[in-house]
């Protein structure tokens, strides 16, 4: 079982466990699950989705500006 779990987590594989009476189970990594939940949340809100699609279109059309990052000093 460890080998299969490692494949799921290390290689981002999805494992389907086939059971009787079509009561199958899907196993994915926690990282994949969290990503899926975040996508469902973002895509489930029309305003968020529209804002992301507008930004994506701007990026694809070269309507973006590159800024240099500033170093922040640690005052500890």
Residue 71 lies in a domain: no
Mean pLDDT of 5-11: 93
Q: Which domain holds residue 13?
A: 2-60
Residue 24 lies in a domain: yes
> Per the structure, how many domains does the chain have?
1
Closest CA to 12 of 25, 34, 26, 31: 31
pLDDT attached to residue 73: 85
**Mean of the per-residue pLDDT values for the chain?**
91
Distance CA 28, CA 17 (A): 11
pLDDT range class, residue 76, cuts 50, 70, 90: low
CB 15 within 8 A of CB 26: yes
Residue 72 lies in a domain: no
Here the CATH number for the domain that contains residue 46 is 3.40.1620
Radius of gyration of the chain (CA): 20
Distance CA 24, CA 1 (A): 17
pTM tops 0.75: no
């Amino acid at each position: 079982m460890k080998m299969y779990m490692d494949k799921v987590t290390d290689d981002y594989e999805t494992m389907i466990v086939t059971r009787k009476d079509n009561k199958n189970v899907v196993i994915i990594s926690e990282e994949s699950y969290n990503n899926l939940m975040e996508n469902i949340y973002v895509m489930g809100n029309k305003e968020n989705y529209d804002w992301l699609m507008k930004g994506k279109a701007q990026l694809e059309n070269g309507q973006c500006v590159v800024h240099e990052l500033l170093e922040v000093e640690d005052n500890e």
